[in-house]
Amino acid sequence: EWVREPRHGNEFHALTTITAMLSDLPADQRQRLQAQSEVVTNERAGSRSQLFKWTAIAASFLGVLVLGLVVAYDQHLFGGESFVTRTGEKRTVTFQEGSVAYLNTRTEVRWIGSEHDRRVELTEGEALFDVVHDEVRPFRVVLGNSEIKVLGTRFDVYRKPNGDTTVTVIEGTVEVRGLGDAEWTRTLHANDQISYSAIGLVTEPHVTDSENAVRWRKGYYRFEDEPIGKVVEELTRYTDQRIVIRDPRVADYHVGGALDIRNVGAALHNLEAQAPLQVTENNNAFTLDYRAPEQKKD
C-alpha cells in the first residue's frame, strides 16, 4: 500500500532505478565509485568528537546520495525526450538507434538512454516495441518497479492505471525483472504473457494469442467471455466521456467479440445486441442500465 501513494511511488521508482543502473555499470566504474564512497566514509570515521561523529554520518549519507544522483545523471535518468498521446490518439516513435515504439492512447514514453545505453521509461499507458537487434547493447524498458530487457524483438507493454503491468511477447525473447524487496525474474518467449503489480506477480507466464494484445493498432479491442465491467474499463481508455454502469447485473454479464475503439458510443450500443442492457448518452456521459429480457408470448 505504501508504494501506491504517488510521492512514495516516485521515491521507490528512483531508488530501484538507481540500484538497477549501478548493477549495469562496467566493473571498473563500479569499483571507482565504490572507492570514492569508501574514502568519504573513512574520512568521516576519523572524527574526534561526538559532534564530528554525527556530522560524519550525515556527510557519508549525503555522499552516497550524491553518488546515486551522479549515476542517475550519467545514465540520463532525469533527462530525455518524452513522447505523449492524448485520449484516442496513436503515435509512432523512432528512436535514434533505430528501434520503434507504437504508442496507444493515453501513453507517455521517455527516452532516458545514451549512445551506449538503450533505455526508455514507460510512464503510463501502452506501447508496442519493435527493437533492433544488438548483442552488445540490450534494450531496456524501465517501469516504476520493474525492468524489461531484450536484445531484439517485438513485445507489448501495458501499464494500467491501477499499477498492474501486462507484458505480451509477439516475437523473440524478453526478460522481465521485478525490483524491490522481493526481486524476481521471468523469461518470456513468443506468445507468452505475464502480469504483475508493484508487490509481485499477478500471473505467471502463460501462453496467449499475442495478436489480440495489439489489435488496438488496427482500431479494435477483441475479448472472449469477459464481464462487461472489464470491457467498459478498456473502452474508457479511448474516450473522455464517463461510462457509468448503474446495475451490478450489467457489470457481471459476460460477453465476447470485437469492438471498434475508434467510436466508443457505437461500441457500447453494439453490446446491447449481446447483453440485457440499455445505453443512454447525456451530460457528456454514457449510462448503462439493466434491461429485463422480453417475456415470450404463449
| pLDDT tens track for 256-292 | 999 999 999 999 999 999 999 999 999 899 999 999 8
Contacts of 160 (CB under 8 A, 6+ apart): 166
- Which one-letter amino acid corresponds to residue 9? G
Coil/strand/helix, residue 16: helix
- DSSP state string for 212-252: HHTGGGGTEEEEEEEEHHHHHHHHGGG-SSEEEE--HHHHH
For residue 20, what are the CA distances in angstroms to 45, 135, 215? 29, 19, 33
Query: Domain-by-domain residue ranges, the chain?
Result: 2-74, 82-211, 219-290
What CATH number was assigned to the domain covering residues 219-290?
Answer: 3.55.50.30
Task: For 132, list phi and psi in degrees, rounded to 5.
Answer: -70, 135
- Domain range 82-211, CATH class: mainly beta
Coil/strand/helix, residue 200: strand
Of all residues in the chain, the percent with pLDDT exceeding 90 is 66
Residues in the chain predicted with pLDDT less than 70, given as ranges, are 1-79, 295-298
